[in-house]
Structure 1
Amino acid sequence: MEMATVGVLLDKRTAERRWTYGLNAFEFYIEEILSHEGISYRLFDDIDQLTESCDIAIAALAADNAETASRLWTFMEKGGTVISYAGLNAMASRLGCVWTGNSGAGYAITGSDFGEEIPIRFLNAQPWRNGSTCEWPIEESGTIMKDHPNGPVIGTARHTFKIGKGVLVRWAVDIIGTIIAMQQGSKPVLTDGIPAYDGTGPVNEGILKADDQVEMDWDKDRLYTETGAPYYAHPYADYWRKELIGHLLRVSVDKGMTLPFIGYWPDGVRHVAMISHDSDGNQDEHAETTLEFLRECGILSTWCIIEPGYSRHIYDRVKDAGHELAFHFNALDSQGGQWDEAEFNRQLSWLKDAADLKEVVSNKNHYTRFEGWGELFAWCEKAGILSDQTRGPSKKGNVGFLFGTCHPFFPIAWSNEKNRIYNVLEIGFLTQDLDLASHWADSSIVNPFLDRVRHTEGVAHFLFHQVHIHNHESVRKALRKVIDEARKQDYVFWTGKQVNDWTRVRRKLGLVSITKQDEIKISGRLEAQGAVALIPVPDSYEEQKDEQVEVHFGVKCKKQIIQYLTSYISGGGAINV
């Protein structure tokens, strides 16, 4: 099949005008969404660049005026497909529809064929209503509800219009903005967050943290296990990624074309779990107990070290065992820390000297301390830290998918940095120490977390402190349960460095064309050993001999192992997968 050409319109003049007034152009994050899936695309920064050479145009950021509408209309009449996420309102009247304005938060039933009909939380939508003059052939899919999963219906989730030889598909939901706001918050962290009404999430304790700016609802987005443990049950941002990508693949197949993409993990790795530790307390005996426990369980983990740290021989033992030594930045004022780049660099320099490290790949802030928007990511960039793990719960009642995702992602900057993408991979965590008296959730949440991460193909990241592993048999049993249950579900355990390294080399692959024999041609330096290419095919496709066909994003896909890639070398050794 012929490979569809996807164009992404990010109008430079529209973006510059927003930045002039201090407004965000978060639509630029569509590039990160597509890159995360390994989908190739062409970037257009001006509507004049859009030609018939492009099969599908994602109008991510465009001037919402008559001129843009006219040019896109011509593109569609000639056979092009245009996709919009809550934009192109200037087209509404020409299509006989009425734009009803911004809806605020709500929930959507999308009507997708992914096997579940979970109402997906969104943070803003701009619905269209069919007007009295609507004469165009329209297909309506799904519904959106205001405020609540059972709230009043305020519109259709997705409209599809036939225009000449082409198609306009308009999502009412601001999918891109919703993904960003869930992952990073809708505004900088400047004040305490809103606490849970039931006392399980007292985030307003006077310490600024990542979970002071969360877009989940304490009442509507939490479920309870059989023991009554509350948890945020759904990675809504991942669901929206799945909707966006699944629809894009389906559109390509419906045009008689295909849109190959790269699988999340190398061949043979179905699901990835991760264990990290924070060295709070810094007692050597805590580390020794943890090392022995991990040896018995046969897993590697990430050790985030806080000043003043362990004795030198402990670091040598951790490294010799194959674990990752990482940074645990302390910005708690009550412990002598401060939210300051110079202090960040001083503590990192201390760790490198104390543990004899030439590089440190990962960081996690003590107590999930966080301020502002992108300062931490900018500090990490400058200091050579490639990955951060700070975005996770600080309270018993907000464990789970409180940031809407279990996928590693690269965060976006605020308008003062022109919404660039930070070169820091965020790998958030789901919960801290389990079965620790009344301090944290009990281990009844383990299987719900593993089930949901498996469903979305993300990373199941659990945090356990060495001090609690040493002092509490209940915590050791809970960690063993995580490991045992994960293995039953075909998870493999990676360190943060392994997740970072694989994610980066995987994303260097570029799928540029496909031959008549459905062989993928790849650009760039090939480094990702065992990467998987997936080629969408029609539902009617019948699997041939020696082929593998799997369903991804609700679409049948032929699976090809990219076997001729060279090994990736980092720090003197190949990635251990």
Structure 2
Amino acid sequence: MRMARIGVLSDQQATGRRHRYGINVFETYIGEVLAHAGLPFQWINRAEDIQVYDPDVLIIALAEEDPETEEAIWAYSEQGGTVISYGGLNRLATRLGCYELRELPVGYTHPDQLGAFGDVALRHLGAKPWDIGAASAAYGAQSFGTLCKDTPDGTEAGAVRLQFNVGQGRIDRWSVNIPKTIVMFQQGTGPVIHDGVPARDGTGSVDEGILKADDACGMDWELDRLHTETGAPYFAYPYADIWRERLIAHLLQIVTGKGMTVPLIGYWPDGVPCVATISHDSDHNIDESAETTLEVLKECGIHSTWCMIEPGYSPSVYERVLREGHELAFHYNALDVQNGRWGGDEFGRQFEWLKQATGLHAVTSNKNHYTRYEGWGELFEWCEQNGIQADQTRGPSKKGNIGFIFGTCHPYFPIAWFDQHNRLYDVLEISFLTQDLDHISLADSSVVIPFLEQTAKAEGAAHFLFHQIHIHQQPAVTDALRKVVDEAVKRGFRFWTSEQINQWERARREIRIDGIDEQGEIRASGTIGVNDIIVYLPSPDKEAGPDMVERFGVPCRKVVLNRSASNQPV
């Protein structure tokens, strides 16, 4: 079976023009979405190179809006290629018998087919729908799903996706700018320069005068929260992850519909359906609280990530933390009321303190104290400059905005602002869901099961934060930690540290599927030292067999590369 060639057109001239005028090109984040799924693809920098690469599927990230580019895309489709666009190709609207409608900055979509999350009304952060005209019949125009304005039950504003037959090929156009929507959920609706809007019910007072990650949030307090049986509110759905699922499912359906396959790399090793991680912030730096926490972790049989804030614990505590298999990480303090300061020089000074205090030459992870945050990507720059490979800052600071506040439970590489040409930062973000459950002034542990169940559906990483001081002083918080561990283990989660997540994610992204021979054997590179790698091969046929599984709604053959001795089939 032939591997499909996937090309992504990102016209460099068009990108440069937008950057000169201060416009972000978040559409290129499609590359991160495909890379995280392990899908091989080729960047195409100019429309005239489409014929040179000759992909089986052409994804339009950004194209010049000129007659030459329009003709190149049209000719490609006429000759049998399939084009996918996410809110673009507006020059083709009239040619396809459609009318451009007003852009919708926010709204909800009702999908035409169900995925792992069922019929969830899926929030978007940018759509440009088309209206089908009578002339579209000449291209066999079909519409899929429903786009609603503002709210899940708002006025219908067009289809989620349109499909057109052009010559021997076809053009599929999503109304939603999916890559941009994913970015704006994960990284916020813009730079953090002022307080966010608080919740009307008093559970989310983000307007307290401290700039934080959750001050620029793409969620809606009323529309995107559910409540547990105890009345605890939480952001219920990882919208960015669901959009990823929809995007990849559609791509796989196109590929298999052409009688081809394209490999995906499993999110986690074989035998690890999803991951849970516990982190701690040392804050008050009381040695006794660290000792208590270490005993609780030993009882639970897990390892965790310890984010250290100046002035830190006694040296003997660090020695024990490391000896017992936990990770020591950084806890940058930019909180003004504690004499902290937002700045790269101060970040570097505090980080040097950490290395001297712990004796470590390298530290993998950081989490900002109180989720303190400003701007867009400065924090990631500082992490890069200091050799920190992973960050955990993006999480809730209030009782009422816990859950999937940034739309994801997957580790991801964030994108820079236009002034840095929308590059990807070399820092893996591992956002957290909540902190200190059953604390006297925070959320209760009724959210544990919903968080784990939604994370399992997304095959993500469920990150819970527990401060050592609260584990030491509040037995209810300790019991909540035990509950997290018990419920996660019941559901097959494996507990990893932030460092382990970072190592795995970076290693799996180095894997390349070079080909599949006539016997179905996979040729791969970049697998040395990486065990239990899952490769999924979508199949055009609904064949049965012990190695066949469903992935993104498509039957796939599951292959495990470098199976470890402890993971041999029984």
Using the size of structure 1 for normalisation, the TM-score is 0.96
- 1:297 matched to 2:300? The reply is yes
Once the 2 structures are TM-superposed, how far is the Cα of residue 185 of structure 1 from its aligned partner? 1.0
Pairs within 5 Å for 1:174-213: 174-213=177-216
Once the 2 structures are TM-superposed, how far is the Cα of residue 373 of structure 1 from its aligned partner? 0.4
Preserved CA contact (<8 Å) 1:527 1:566: no
How far apart are the structure 1 equivalents of 2:133 and 2:517?
A: 46
Pairs within 5 Å for 1:160-559: 160-437=163-440, 439-524=441-526, 526-538=528-540, 540-543=542-545, 547-559=546-558
How far apart are the structure 2 equivalents of 1:76 and 1:142?
A: 23
Q: What amino acid is the match of 2:463?
A: H
SS at match of 1:196: coil
Residue number in structure 2 paired with 1:50: 50
Pairs within 5 Å for 1:28-177: 28-51=28-51, 53-114=54-115, 116-134=118-136, 135-177=138-180
Structure 1 runs of 4+ with >4 Å offset = 564-567
How far apart are the structure 2 equivalents of 1:424 and 1:516?
A: 39
Preserved CA contact (<8 Å) 1:10 1:43: yes
Preserved CA contact (<8 Å) 1:508 1:526: no
Residue number in structure 2 paired with 1:12: 12
How far apart are the structure 1 equivalents of 2:327 and 2:37?
A: 27
Preserved CA contact (<8 Å) 2:274 2:494: yes
How far apart are the structure 1 equivalents of 2:375 and 2:274?
A: 33
How far apart are the structure 2 equivalents of 1:27 and 1:237?
A: 14
How far apart are the structure 1 equivalents of 2:169 and 2:303?
A: 52
Preserved CA contact (<8 Å) 2:416 2:422: yes
Unmatched segments (≥5 aa) in structure 1:
568-577
Preserved CA contact (<8 Å) 2:533 2:563: no
Preserved CA contact (<8 Å) 2:260 2:540: no
How far apart are the structure 2 equivalents of 1:198 and 1:337?
A: 31
Once the 2 structures are TM-superposed, how far is the Cα of residue 416 of structure 1 from its aligned partner? 0.4
How far apart are the structure 2 equivalents of 1:53 and 1:522?
A: 23
Residue number in structure 2 paired with 1:21: 21
Unmatched segments (≥5 aa) in structure 2:
none
How far apart are the structure 2 equivalents of 1:59 and 1:28?
A: 9
Q: What amino acid is the match of 1:375?
A: E
Preserved CA contact (<8 Å) 1:527 1:565: no
Once the 2 structures are TM-superposed, how far is the Cα of residue 208 of structure 1 from its aligned partner? 0.3
SS at match of 1:558: strand
SS at match of 2:38: coil
Once the 2 structures are TM-superposed, how far is the Cα of residue 548 of structure 1 from its aligned partner? 1.1
SS at match of 2:550: strand
How far apart are the structure 2 equivalents of 1:539 and 1:444?
A: 43
Residue number in structure 1 paired with 2:3: 3
Aligned pairs, number: 563
Q: CA deviation digits over 1:88-116, x for unaligned, max 9? A: 01101111111113112000012124251
Once the 2 structures are TM-superposed, how far is the Cα of residue 511 of structure 1 from its aligned partner? 1.6
How far apart are the structure 2 equivalents of 1:64 and 1:464?
A: 51
How far apart are the structure 1 equivalents of 2:9 and 2:490?
A: 44
How far apart are the structure 2 equivalents of 1:486 and 1:566?
A: 25
How far apart are the structure 1 equivalents of 2:563 and 2:512?
A: 15
Cα RMSD, aligned residues only: 1.3
Once the 2 structures are TM-superposed, how far is the Cα of residue 566 of structure 1 from its aligned partner? 13
Name the CA shift for 1:564/1:485 in 2 (closer, same or farther; >3 Å): closer
SS at match of 1:93: coil
Preserved CA contact (<8 Å) 1:550 1:559: yes
Preserved CA contact (<8 Å) 1:201 1:398: yes
How far apart are the structure 1 equivalents of 2:82 and 2:257?
A: 11
SS at match of 1:95: coil
SS at match of 1:214: coil
Preserved CA contact (<8 Å) 1:387 1:500: yes
Once the 2 structures are TM-superposed, how far is the Cα of residue 514 of structure 1 from its aligned partner? 1.4
SS at match of 1:377: helix
Once the 2 structures are TM-superposed, how far is the Cα of residue 300 of structure 1 from its aligned partner? 0.2
Once the 2 structures are TM-superposed, how far is the Cα of residue 510 of structure 1 from its aligned partner? 1.2
Q: What amino acid is the match of 1:541?
A: E
Moved more, 321-330 or 25-34: 25-34
SS at match of 1:153: coil
How far apart are the structure 2 equivalents of 1:128 and 1:67?
A: 22
Once the 2 structures are TM-superposed, how far is the Cα of residue 565 of structure 1 from its aligned partner? 9.1
Preserved CA contact (<8 Å) 2:115 2:245: no
Once the 2 structures are TM-superposed, how far is the Cα of residue 139 of structure 1 from its aligned partner? 2.0
Q: What amino acid is the match of 2:537?
A: I
Q: What amino acid is the match of 1:296?
A: E
SS at match of 1:303: strand
Q: CA deviation digits over 1:461-495, x for unaligned, max 9? A: 00000000000110011110000000000001000
Using the size of structure 2 for normalisation, the TM-score is 0.97
SS at match of 1:197: coil
Q: What amino acid is the match of 1:552?
A: R
Once the 2 structures are TM-superposed, how far is the Cα of residue 414 of structure 1 from its aligned partner? 0.1
Moved more, 454-463 or 506-515: 506-515
Preserved CA contact (<8 Å) 1:40 1:512: no
Q: What amino acid is the match of 2:67?
A: A
SS at match of 2:134: coil
Preserved CA contact (<8 Å) 2:70 2:92: yes
Moved more, 123-132 or 379-388: 123-132
Once the 2 structures are TM-superposed, how far is the Cα of residue 530 of structure 1 from its aligned partner? 1.2
Preserved CA contact (<8 Å) 1:232 1:402: yes
Preserved CA contact (<8 Å) 1:40 1:510: yes
Q: CA deviation digits over 1:358-377, x for unaligned, max 9? A: 11000000000000000000
How far apart are the structure 1 equivalents of 2:385 and 2:201?
A: 41
How far apart are the structure 2 equivalents of 1:293 and 1:346?
A: 32
How far apart are the structure 2 equivalents of 1:277 and 1:353?
A: 20
How far apart are the structure 2 equivalents of 1:538 and 1:181?
A: 34
Once the 2 structures are TM-superposed, how far is the Cα of residue 305 of structure 1 from its aligned partner? 0.4
Q: CA deviation digits over 1:388-409, x for unaligned, max 9? A: 0000000000000000000000
How far apart are the structure 2 equivalents of 1:261 and 1:77?
A: 28
Once the 2 structures are TM-superposed, how far is the Cα of residue 525 of structure 1 from its aligned partner? 5.7
